[in-house]
Amino acid sequence: MFPADHLLAIALVALGPIRSYTVGLRRLERAAPEALPATRRGVYGSAISIQWGLVALLAVIWILTGRAWDGLGLSFRLTSGLIGVALGLAVITVLLVRQRNQTLARPDELAEVRRRLGSLQLMLPHTASEFAAFVRVAVTAGVCEELLYRGFLIWYFAHLLPWWGAGLAAAVAFGLGHAYQGARGVIQTTLVGAFLAAVYFVSGSLWAPIVIHALMDLHTGHLAWRAYQSEQEQRADEQAVVDEIFEGGPPDEPDDGG
């Protein structure tokens, strides 16, 4: 390995979690309510730029060292593992779409979605324009985070650990990279990272994890947008009822007979 490999690994394992927890989240927490939409889109743009910048650095390292792209999992071979993963993904997608349609049709279930998202509501899209920006974030995360955490970090840790240990170490780094989600979020994203590493090993290619990762983020972002939109519509309906009641002004004072 070369010094650049170690620097990129340090950036992903140590600097990434620090930045995600301190810079991006703090910008949103400090923003005034009326400035949140613009701040949220700004955070999205920064995340996209940083991730593609790291991938560009990775590509430069790979080209200058003359390494085969197979080392990053970018080969495409129609293996039995890849076919199995594709079939499993198709089944899960059908079931998930059915569940999504049921959730979107019920305000009580959308309220439960908002409750489960908790503090992530600062990061997730609330409007159609924000979701349009979030789509680019989801695609970027699918491509860049898989190249960096599953492709590069597993390759990096495999020089020191067996394949399963390398996959686990990369999954932990991936979880820490989402430190802004709190302890529970770190655990959940670590498990997601382990799952994606398993998909990578079974399929023999990084393309399957890339597609799954992007779809997962798109699903979460779209569901969040619709859940927050539903909340805004409910508040607007409640306000309309109040306005209608008092449309003619406050009720007349009762006549006291004076």
Residue numbers of the domain that contains 146: 3-241
**pLDDT computed for residue 258 by the predictor:** 47
| d(C-alpha 39, C-alpha 202), whole Å | 40
Cα distance from N-terminal residue to C-terminal residue, the chain: 96
Indicate whether 258 belongs to any domain. no
Conformational region of residue 124, where left means phi above 0, alpha means psi within -120 to 50, and beta covers everything else: beta
From the list 55, 88, 69, 71, the residue with the least C-alpha distance to 202 is 88
Look at residue 109 and tell me whether its pLDDT is greater than 60: yes
* Token pair listed for 73: 């999992």
Q: Does residue 173 fall inside a structural domain?
A: yes
Predicted confidence band of residue 215 (pLDDT cuts 50, 70, 90):
very high
pLDDT in the model for residue 243: 59
- Residue 53 maps to a domain: yes
Rounded Cα–Cα distance for residues 84 and 97 (Å):
20
**How far, in whole angstroms, is CA 104 from its chain's centroid?**
20
Tokens of 251: 């009720």
- Listed ranges 106-115, 120-129, 143-152; the one with the highest mean pLDDT: 143-152
User: What is the reported pLDDT for 152?
Assistant: 96
In a domain, 253, yes or no: no
Is the residue at 114 inside a domain?
yes
Which runs of consecutive H residues, i.e. helices, occur in the chain?
A: 3-10, 16-19, 25-30, 36-65, 80-104, 107-117, 128-140, 153-157, 163-176, 182-203, 207-245
Beta carbons of 189 and 174 less than 8 angstroms apart: yes
Ramachandran assignment for 77, one of left (phi > 0), alpha (psi -120 to 50 degrees), beta (any other): beta
Residue 258's SS3 state is coil
Q: Between 238 and 170, name the one with better pLDDT.
A: 170
What is the pTM assigned to this prediction? 0.85
CA distance 204 to 154: 13
104 occurs within a structural domain: yes
Answer yes or no: is 247 within a domain: no
Number of domains in the chain: 1
Using a 10 angstrom Cβ sphere, with 0-12 exposed, 13-18 middle and 19 or more buried, the burial of residue 83 is: exposed
Sort 241 into a burial class: Cβ within 10 Å, 0-12 / 13-18 / 19+.
exposed
Q: Is residue 117 part of a domain?
A: yes
